[in-house]
Amino acid sequence: MSSGSGIFMGSKAKSCVCHVCGLHLNRLHSCLHCVFFGCFTKKHIHEHAKSKRHNLAIELMYGGIYCFLCQDYIYDKDIEIIAKEEQRKAWKMQGVGEKFSTWEPTKRELELLKHNPKRRKITSNCTIGLRGLINLGNTCFMNCIVQALTHTPLLRDFFLSDRHRCEMQSPSSCLVCEMSSLFQEFYSGHRSPHIPYKLLHLVWTHARHLAGYEQQDAHEFLIAALDVLHRHCKGDDNGKKANNPNHCNCIIDQIFTGGLQSDVTCQVCHGVSTTIDPFWDISLDLPGSSTPFWPLSPGSESSVVNGESHVSGTTTLTDCLRRFTRPEHLGSSAKIKCSGCHSYQESTKQLTMKKLPIVACFHLKRFEHSAKLRRKITTYVSFPLELDMTPFMASSKESRMNGQYQQPTDSLNNDNKYSLFAVVNHQGTLESGHYTSFIRQHKDQWFKCDDAIITKASIADVLDSEGCVLQGQGPLTAAPPVPIWEAPAPDDLL
């Protein structure tokens, strides 16, 4: 929007007051015959209508049309159509336009509703939404991520409310359409394991590096799936005004995209160069990798046994995040041209979170690949059920001196807290292993998903697991549970 149009809109907003008393309260109405604004409660709009014989006015809060001859609000179909179109234009201008239309049941859906009139109430032990997935040949890496995605609250609510409208020329090749069908399958109430053959085929088609029946990396599949979903989701034409660093308002970017701030500081003039890049996940180094790790707990030791790296002592997810956001000296071999000094100088680089996503994905880098080394890092990393990301924000007031971290004295921001709802685990070695996942069904109910088998799990089981991908959702945007029906527990639920 140009600055001129912004000033024009501002002047229009200021004119929306009663032309008699100057107030914008008291049920403000606008005359439909001229530019007069008058309040209804103090009868200023009535006086105008009587003196000018302008008998129609619109109420500005809800859009009702008032007739002073009838002395009542009236309904006109043509005006209603115009009002809806203008409202749609206003939403689009603000970047909040609704893309979906009102649901009109088909003949088949009407028949289904006719023969299925009963509604069941939700119960605390409801298991609808829990469904196993058949392993199609080393596809456990896909199954565990699908379980995590189908139990992402906002993504679930998006697909179950039929918000997706396919705009691809061939809907059969649209991964978003397949995900929509997958959500319907998961929440249909069926208990038999689902066979995700079409999903696998589409992933192979659009992410060819994952094609084949070899063991793949679950984190790599997650990023590939988000990328394809992002490409197949066509955002609104006004997407550049969306509130995320990727300038896209598709459902994937609205939920998963955050902004990572990189500050490069010149060691000579102390000038700072800042860039902000979008991210879908945060990849964290672990103790025991070839990358120097800071800090290690006192008394920790590292060893390699059978191609696996082991570190004694305790490491937390917070430790990994502290290392991720601590200043790093780039050294003399990586000098950067300083815009202040106009010459190449040594510098430090620090990463912080400029904007947090609604759903945060943390990737613990357990697989290390290099020219000389291929191994799995089995270091235990403890993680909490709730994580506060405030200390790692760009706007945070935490001090970091000499690599040390100091907790702020004021209370932390609840907006930056995440609640854990999915954990992906890998058992075995780099060459031969198996993926499983823990997902949260209700607030305190956890289940282990091992391909076709779903079993109950305790919070202790979740927190004691190794973890390689962790997902959490922020509280302010957490969606309420969708309406679901009471269903008996599947036979494979203990």
Q: CA 322, CA 401: separation in Å to the nearest integer?
A: 12
CB proximity list for 457: less than 8 A, separation 6 or greater: 438, 446, 447, 448
Catalytic residue flag (residue 434) = yes
Q: CA 352, CA 139: separation in Å to the nearest integer?
A: 35
Q: CA 205, CA 225: separation in Å to the nearest integer?
A: 12
- Distance from CA of residue 292 to its chain's centroid? 31
Q: CA 477, CA 275: separation in Å to the nearest integer?
A: 27
Whether the Cβ atoms of residue 132 and residue 156 lie closer than 8 Å to each other: no
Q: CA 488, CA 491: separation in Å to the nearest integer?
A: 9
Q: CA 392, CA 119: separation in Å to the nearest integer?
A: 46
Question: What is the DSSP code string of 142-185?
Answer: HHHHHHHHHT-HHHHHHHHTT-----SS-GGG-HHHHHHHHHHH
CB proximity list for 439: less than 8 A, separation 6 or greater: 147, 148, 151, 421, 422, 446, 447, 449
**The pair of three-digit structure tokens given for residue 165, joined into one six-digit string:** 């409208």
Question: Of 19, 54, 247, 434, which residue is the catalytic one?
Answer: 434
- Residue 336: phi and psi, rounded to 5, are -120, 140
Question: Of 31, 39, 140, 361, which residue is the catalytic one?
Answer: 140
Residue pointed to by tokens 């956001």: 325
Kindly give the interhelix angle for 175-186 and 218-232, rounded to the nearest 10 degrees: 110
Q: CA 255, CA 474: separation in Å to the nearest integer?
A: 10
**The pair of three-digit structure tokens given for residue 252, joined into one six-digit string:** 């994937």
* Cis peptide leading into residue 105 (ω within 30°): no
Closest CA to 231 of 196, 201, 205, 209: 205
Per DSSP, 387 falls in state E
Catalytic residue flag (residue 140) = yes
Residues serving a catalytic function are 140, 434
